[in-house]
Amino acid sequence: MKNSKHLLLVINTPGDPFTIDSGASLRSNLFIKALSEIAQVDVICFSKNNIVSDILNCNVIFSQLIWENKDYWEVIRTLLCMTIWPSNPYSYFQVNKQKASIINSYLNKKKYDFIACRYVQTAIICGLLDYKDKLIIDADDNLAAIKKLQVIEASSILYKWKKQYESMRIPKMLRKLFSNIRCSFCSNPLELPSPQTIVLHNTTVLDKPAPSLSEDFTPRILFVGTLRYFPNKHGIKHFVESIFPQIKKSIPLAELQIVGDGEPDFLDYLNNKEGVRAVGRIDDLASEYQKAAVVVIPIYYGSGTSVKFVEGLLMNRPVVSTPVGARWYSETCRDRIDYMLAHNDEEFISKTINLLSSPTKSRDMAKRGYVIGEKMFSQRKFCEIVKNAIIKL
């Protein structure tokens, strides 16, 4: 069926939005699918060449990699502009004139009812703020929260100071920007940049839950996440060094399976630990959940919401998480009933051992978590939120 509404979607990331290889690419893919169900979608990709859409009612009309030019003077410029015009979006990102020109050429050829993009910086860099009355932005994680995380990761004093300064100035800019555009989404209601922003949860790439745990399950602990991302790398390193050894003392047969792309040296470091197996990135993630007894989320830094948490729920496995790993989900899921919340290492150890020692408790907790996940955080619910929001426009 041909849709009467037409929407232009701008993608400004190097990857292919039609190939799902991460939580971010999954969110982009679901966002496109939801939009294509209520409008004819044309996509401009400033990413890899020869990208082809496999989604009905969605066509890629431009695909080419065009980079932004950044240098030392750009850092100085943004610092000065942030100080003088903190509410101005262009104080934080510069318009790429080539990208803006390409987009404008298509907008001049065809009338679009809406213009959508992923991320605030995409809207600014690609000159989309000129079309505020038609603009839809999926911010995903709050940009200010991302900057706070970048402070922790910063390798130089200048970069650390710049990111700290940005995190303090950006919230005012975001409130003004989101109050002037047509529609916006954000993944965490605790970090909404504006009262008008709609909560759009993260979800999982997996669409079929694992079978219920058997009575004689193997005490295998599972962690999933790219190890090239600082919060994941820091968290699993701490878990391997300080938490898992204590679990293994109590349950000698306990195993720790770590899934996620990482630097070879770090994977080797993990694999040298007793009972630990870091397999890197794999194609069949569903089978790892089927073999797991408990999913752990030892995350101590982050923004937005954790895909790992909702994925554990939707894969029918009990979850043990730090407060950061369970951010926002702790508002809807109950500690010790739907999942286990670990405020410190001692709680992480004791609660994981508790689940590994009790098949019935683990199975019942997983079932309750799955019901919540399916009702509130599924792919179906994600698309429903997007479609309902756009239809109301």
Note the pLDDT tens digit of each residue in 237-277: 999 999 999 999 999 999 999 999 999 999 999 999 999 99
State yes or no: pLDDT of 356 exceeds 50.
Answer: yes
- Neighbouring C-beta atoms of residue 14, cutoff 10 Å: 11
**Is the per-residue pLDDT at 11 higher than 80?**
yes
Instruction: Summarize the confidence of residues 84-113 as an average pLDDT.
Output: 91
Give pLDDT, residue 33: 95
**Which of these, 171, 194, 172, 169, lies nearest to 184 by C-alpha position?**
194
For the beta carbon of residue 370, count every other beta carbon within 10 angstroms.
20
Position 174 pLDDT exceeds 70:
yes
How high does pLDDT run on average in the chain?
90
Tokens standing for residue 211: 């079978």
Q: How far is CA 262 from CA 153, 266, 308, in A?
A: 16, 7, 17
pLDDT band at 153 (very low <50, low <70, confident <90, very high): confident
For residue 147, what pLDDT band results from cuts at 50, 70 and 90? Answer: confident
Q: What percent of the chain has pLDDT over 70?
A: 97
Separation CA 152–CA 247 (nearest Å):
29
Say which residue, 2 or 36, is predicted with more confidence.
Answer: 36
- Geometric angle at alpha carbon 304, from 301 and 310, rounded to 5°: 95
pLDDT at 85: 79
Across the range 72-99, mean pLDDT stands at: 79
Q: What is the chain's Cα-based Rg? A: 22
Q: Are 11 and 45 in contact (CB under 8 A)?
A: yes
Query: Does residue 207 carry a pLDDT above 90?
Result: no
Those residues with Cβ within 8 angstroms of residue 301's Cβ, 6 or more apart along the chain or in another chain: 149, 152, 230, 231, 234, 235, 324
What's the confidence (pLDDT) of residue 1?
A: 45
Within the chain, what is the greatest distance between any pair of CA atoms?
68
Confidence bin at 185 (pLDDT 50/70/90): very high
Of residues 243 and 144, more confidence is placed in 243
74 confidence band (pLDDT: 50, 70, 90): low
- Of 28-42, 102-116, 148-162, 164-178, the least confident: 148-162
- Bridge partners, residue 115, by sequence: 8, 135
Angle between helices 143-153 and 230-238 (to 10 degrees): 60
pLDDT score at 75:
65
> pTM for this structure?
0.87
Query: 271 is written with which tokens?
Result: 């694999």
